[in-house]
Structure 1
Amino acid sequence: MLTDGLRRLPNVEAHVGNMAEADFQPSPAFWSMRLYSRNPEPNRKLYSWNIIMCTGSSPTRISLPYSSPTILDLDAVLDRQKLRTVLSRTDEKLVVGVVGTSHSAIVAIMNLYDLATRTHPRLHIKWFVRGRLTYAVEMDGWILRDNTGLKGASAEFARENLEDEKLADSPVGKVLTKVECLDIRDVSMKPHLSSCTHVVQAIGFTRDPIPQLAIDGRVLNGITHDPINGILLNHAAVPQAYGAGIAFPERVTDPAGNTESAVGLWKFIKYLQRVAPSWR
C-alpha cells in the first residue's frame, strides 16, 4: 500500500529489481548502482547523489538441539488466517513450541490459543521462556520500556493468563505448558523439543543483507550505522549513505537513562522527519 502511494508521486521514479552493488565515485561525488531486474528489460545502472538503505529485518532464527519439529514462520503465526492455513489439519495432535517472551511471542500464543479453543482441540502449546514478562509502564509524560515492554491487548492477555500466579487457574493453562530455559540451544532442551511437532521462534529480528557497497571500487565490509543521525558507518562515515527503518533504527534514551531502539512505523516516520533534512 505504501509503495503504491509512492509510485503515484510525480517526483518518484520507481525501479523494480534487486540492487546488488553500489559504488561511490568521489568525483563528482555520486553513487553508481547496478540493478538486476526480473523483468524482460535488461540490467541497468542507476546514479544518485545519496543512497538510503530501507532494507528491513527478518525474524531471528537460531539452531535448535533437536531438528525434527517443523519451524513455523513467525509472520505466518502472527496472522490468524495464515496460521489456519499452515496448521490446516484440525484432527491431528499438534504441539507447538513458542520461544520467547516478546510482544510477538505473546501474540503467537494468543493466536494458537484461539485455534486450540475453536478449531484445533488437539493442539497444545509449549512456551519456552528464560525470563519474566516485562510491560510498558505509563510514567509522568513518558513510557517506561516503550519499545520493549508489552502493551495493549498482549499485555492484558499476559497479565490475566501467563503470569505464574495466574497460569494454573487460567483457561490458557489447560492448553499451555511453560518451560523455563536459560538457553533454548542447550542440549538439556532436547527432551522438551522432541515432543513438539512445530516450533516458532519469537526472539527478535535480524537485519537483512544489504547490497555490496564500495568507495571507488574498494568494497566496504561490516557496515553499521549511527543510531542518532542514520549515517552508515564503516569505521568512518560512508559518504552520502544512510539507513532507516527497522534495519537501522534510532537509539533513544528515556528519562530514567534506559536506552532502546525506537521501533514502529510512526517512530520511523518521526525519526526521518528529524534527521532526513540534514542528509545532503
Structure 2
Amino acid sequence: MALLEARGLSVNYGGLYANKDIDLDCHTGKLVGLIGPNGAGKTTFIDAITGFTPVSEGKVTFDGVDLAGVSPDQRALMGLTRTFQSLELFEDLSVRDNLMAAAERPKWHSFLTDIVMPGRNERQFKEQVDWALEIMGLQDRADTLPSDLSHGQRKLISVARALAAKPKLVLLDEPAAGLDTSESQLLGQHLREFLEHDMSLFLIDHDMGLVLNVCDYIYVLDFGKIIAHGTPAEVRADPAVISAYLGESAGEEQAQRGAEFGAATTTTEATS
C-alpha cells in the first residue's frame, strides 16, 4: 500500500474540472514529482490532498486512512504537510521561531501546561527545529528575521518549516521558483537527503532539471488530467510529454539542462 493514494480524484469548480480522474501514488521513502504547464491543475491537486479545497469525486487515503472529512490541521497532525508558493512566513518572528511554530503540536489543554511549565515547547521541540535548520544549512540564520534574507534563503526557510514537524510526507509546491541555478542544485541535494530521515516527498516544480534529476517517479498533468507517468527517463522520452508540455525543441533543451544539472550535482557531491 502506498503512503498516499489518490483514486479518481476530481475537483470541479462550477462545472469546470481543474483535476479530473487522477490516480496517483506516493510510496514511503520515495521522491515523487508532478509537472505540467501553468494552469494544468498542479496546485489544485495539492490543495485537494491537504484539505484546502473540496474533492468533488474520488478518494484520497493517507497512511491507510480515508481523508474524507478530515480537516487540514488534522491532516498535518497525521504527518501530511505542505509548503506554499507564497511562502507564508511570519515576518516578525526569527527563522527559529518560524520553525518552532510549525513543530509544535498543541492540544486543547496545552495552554494549561504552558502556565505550569513555561518554556516546555522550546525544550520539547528544540531538537527537531535544530535538525531542520541543519539539514537546510540555515544554522547561522536561526536568529535572523525572514525579511532580512534573500529570496532563495526564504524559500529554504519555507521548506525547513515543513520539515520541523517531522512529517511522514511533505508536499512541496514549487520550492525552486525564483532560485538561481546554484541555489536550485543545492536544494536538489537537500531533497534527496530528506529521504534518509524516514520522510517521503512530493515535488511540484517548473525547474525540469531539478525534477528530472531528483525524483524517483514523475507524473505529468495537462488540462487537469494525468497524461503520462514513469521514471524520469521514461517521462523525458514520452511523446505525449514532449508534445503537450515541452514541445520538440523545448524537450531537447530541457533534457540538456537536466544532464547539466545532474553533472553539476555529481561534481558538487564529489568535492564535498
Given the two structures, how large is their TM-score scaled by the length of structure 1? Answer: 0.25
Q: Which has a greater percent of strand? A: 1
Return the index of the structure with the highest Cα Rg.
1
Given the two structures, how large is their TM-score scaled by the length of structure 2? Answer: 0.26
Q: Which has a greater percent of helix? A: 2
